[in-house]
Structure 1
């Protein structure tokens, strides 16, 4: 007697493949039967209320609308140029490299990191020291000058 050329695993895989195909066909028929035909446009519409929330009711046409100018909207922290000039600022030295002679100061008011060079120091500083300083514009950005250690 000759043995079957198919192994048990091959037959099982074929059965699973056929079963998956049948399940897929059944799901497809179910979706077609449950499909909502003729959904109106009004049922699909969504509106925004004055607070920016989605709602199904249309807005009142007699309602007074607020208008905003694009130039007045600020998304980020104002740039350094837009702020008024200040006399002396305070901050904490976040990083300072004695060998290279530069570092950064975190401004206490704005939280910005401002570059500082050893030539602009009145005395030696190290990390985590509180300092007062003034800000000047340089070709590469803003630089802290007249940096004095607070004791």
Structure 2
């Protein structure tokens, strides 16, 4: 699927449930990073990644089974099959787990790792939106997007470099 060349007029307002779900996903990401980092500290980052993805696969398979039994008519989305590149998400997931389990046990610690990870996510998301990468609708960044990115970067720098010895 080629990237759309139209530029959207602007995003719709998010539903409060979507905001809550995104906050929960962020909290779960932090919990995942902490548990994987602890596993890596006691074993290796690759073993921690394998364990995380193994447990995740079992949970996903059980959820898939429950949803298939509960809603058999919804087994496949309305558009059919996903594009082939969509199946490569597991590669970035595995690399994320391995890299973050190493970094969380460094001087960055959990907070610095999460802050830099958030900054990286926002930068890449803005680039994907701007260029319409991987089939996304092309959307040029607005002033508020760039101000938000600047705030995230400043906050990240404060978290990493302004750590006092107080406490």
State if a TM-score over 0.5 links the two structures: no
**Relative contact order (C-alpha < 8 Å, sep 6+): which is higher?**
2
Higher radius of gyration, 1 or 2: 1
Query: Which structure shows the bigger proportion of residues in helix conformation?
Result: 2
Give the structure-1-normalised TM-score.
0.19
Give the structure-2-normalised TM-score.
0.17
